[in-house]
Amino acid sequence: MARILTGIQSSGTPHLGNLLGAIIPAIKLSKDSKNESLFFIADMHSLTSIRDPKSLKENTYATAAAWIAFGFNTEKNIFYRQSDIPEVTELMWYLNCITPFPMLTNAHSFKDKSSKVHNVNTGLFTYPILMAADILLYDADIVPVGKDQKQHLEMTRDMVGFFNNIYGDTLTLPQSKIDEKVMTIPGIDGRKMSKSYNNFINVFLPDKKLRKQIMAIQTDSKGIKESKDPQSCNVFKIYTLLASDGDIEQMEKNYSGGNYGYGHAKQALYELIIDKYSSERSRFNKLMDQQDLIENQLQKGAKKARIIAQSVLKRVRAKVGYKNMT
């Protein structure tokens, strides 16, 4: 049996890119009876950028609601909040003490902001070490990651090598899993869909707000009568990630045939999202209206997660030379 671990930051309600790139593929993996899945909300990572306690709490519930709404079985698997597992910060310290400083300076999460280093907090600098602790604390075998997180997973594997070389075989070496089909989800401006770019589509918005967001997708200036190239259109690129082969083929014909405007394509995308995610949108809203149910699920998951975490940390403490807690 493979143990699969996935985490997602609570930096806001998961958008379409999060759903297609991380949440839906991870839930699919969790439904395989050969797998054991641990999914967590990385609310400690979110502190590198979020300072408002109310927002952090609301974002955590919204993230949890999205996972549950899309079918993650919290009874069969383990679903928890990162900050409910204090063992992760202790393991992080042990990893801090064996990780070379230059390795962290090469991390994308740091280099992307290093031109304004005075704005880089230490949490952002050591982000890869906390991520490694998240993974190694549970003896994870497989970690589904996006292309932007691949480097951090490789750094985690390096940390395993450093630690095991010093203390002997202690930490499990994880493998990354990248879905090549949905490696990058385009946003409404054509760049990678991201909250930091404010170019995302939030499928959980009320109908009118969702439609307004989709209608804001950037396109070229070709008129309604002109033939259009679907492959260069942001609307079409997003549509192909959700639609059936037959609908995609028809949309291509609409583009090339003329007398079909971008407004028509955006409306078709809007209707597709409304239809495709109708039940998930309904479940999400019900959960957000009953956040005590979400909290209950997270607390139950934390109890199960800590059993594994404490077992691994006991092994690590013994190898380092510390007395284990009783």
Q: Is residue 113 flagged as an active site residue? A: yes
| Residue pointed to by tokens 């070229």 | 220
**Could you say which of 31, 147, 177, 192 is catalytic?**
192
Burial of 43 (0-12, 13-18, 19+ CB in 10 A): buried
* 3-class DSSP state of 137: coil
DSSP 188: T
The length of the chain in residues reads 326
**Could you say which of 54, 177, 195, 237 is catalytic?**
195
**Could you say which of 113, 177, 304, 314 is catalytic?**
113
Encode 242-254: b = buried (16+ Cβ within 10 Å), e = exposed.
bbeeeebeebbeb
**At residue 130, what is the residue type?**
L
| Residue pointed to by tokens 């979400």 | 294
39 bridge partner residues: 6, 79
From 38, 34, 29, 32, select the one nearest 140 (Cα to Cα).
38
Q: Is residue 150 flagged as an active site residue? A: no
DSSP 81: E
Q: Is residue 195 flagged as an active site residue? A: yes
From 231, 265, 229, select the one nearest 247 (Cα to Cα).
265
Would you name the residues annotated as active-site residues?
A: 113, 192, 195
